[in-house]
Structure 1
């Protein structure tokens, strides 16, 4: 089962440097926001890079990137960082740190772009979910087309994650469904592209 983390703190940092930096960056931004108006305050969220698809912010494309490191409330941060901590490490080892870093960032960027395009009216949006669903998209590619890379328990976990994630995304009104779906599709395609380049 590749999703059970056995590493101690030092080993985790050494084996998964990009994931460690991403975790630290997200937590650091959240702490800064907590002392600067709060992580649920709309103006604070915008100040730190959340997305808002209205005319005033329409050309601030850098928000597609910064929004990946901004979270709306502690629960939002906790769920995303737990997923990153547990499920990202095997993919970082598989791709290598630099390719994984590019994969993560592009998955998140594309998820945010799709979310922005599909938003119905002014919507404040932030979070690492697009990039995390990109990771799930990579695992979906693996379980469908590279089954030998995962043991049966890990494959079953991927299916369970995807079913639960899609149901949650559809059922909970505050969840950014399009960022999740966009990240999932982006991760599937990007992982396939990286795999093809390696052949």
Structure 2
């Protein structure tokens, strides 16, 4: 079962350095938000890089990246941090930190691009933050493994992934205030980015530490 963490904290830092850095970055940015007006304050979020399609902020492309590291409220940070801590590490070991970083950021950015395009087409103004698109990108990569590289994933892990995706999709549409297009865009982005990466480079095998 690849989604069970067996490592102590020292081993975790050693084997999953980029995941650890991403976690720290999310926490540090949350603390900065809290100290500068609050993580749920709209103006604070915008000042620190929230994604928005408001015309006043048009052309600020860096928001597609910066918004990935911001979270609105402690529960938002907690849920995404849990997903990152538990489910992301096997993908970092499989791809290596550099390619894993490309997958994570690429999925998050693509999810944000599609989300903004959706809200623009609907004529709605939006402000969006969170690592969910990037995390769903990791799920998308695992989905590729589960469907096309079945020998690389055990049955228990495959069933866990399918259950996780089912609940995640239902949650994305059922709860108000959720940027479901960022989730869906990240999922599709991770699926195709992973497919491209493995055509350029042969991945490792999943293994326990």
Using the size of structure 1 for normalisation, the TM-score is 0.98
Match of 1:83 in 2: 83
| Alpha-carbon offset, residue 18 of structure 1 | 0.4
Gaps of 5+ in 1: none
Gaps of 5+ in 2: 203-209
Kindly report the root-mean-square deviation, in angstroms, between the aligned alpha carbons of the 2 structures.
Answer: 0.8
Q: Greater CA deviation, 67-76 or 113-122?
A: 113-122
Using the size of structure 2 for normalisation, the TM-score is 0.94
**Are residue 126 (structure 1) and residue 134 (structure 2) matched?**
no
| Alpha-carbon offset, residue 102 of structure 1 | 1.1
| Alpha-carbon offset, residue 58 of structure 1 | 1.7
Match of 2:171 in 1: 168
Alpha-carbon separation, structure 1, partners of 2:73 and 2:167: 21
Give 4+ residue runs of structure 1 displaced > 2 Å after superposition: none
For 1:93-148, what per-residue CA distance to the aligned partner results, in whole angstroms no more than 9, with x for missing partners? 00011110111111111111111110131111000000000000001101100011
| Alpha-carbon offset, residue 192 of structure 1 | 0.3
For 1:158-178, what per-residue CA distance to the aligned partner results, in whole angstroms no more than 9, with x for missing partners? 100110010000101211000
**When the two structures are aligned, how many residues end up with a matched partner?**
199
Match of 2:10 in 1: 10
Match of 2:200 in 1: 197
Match of 2:160 in 1: 157
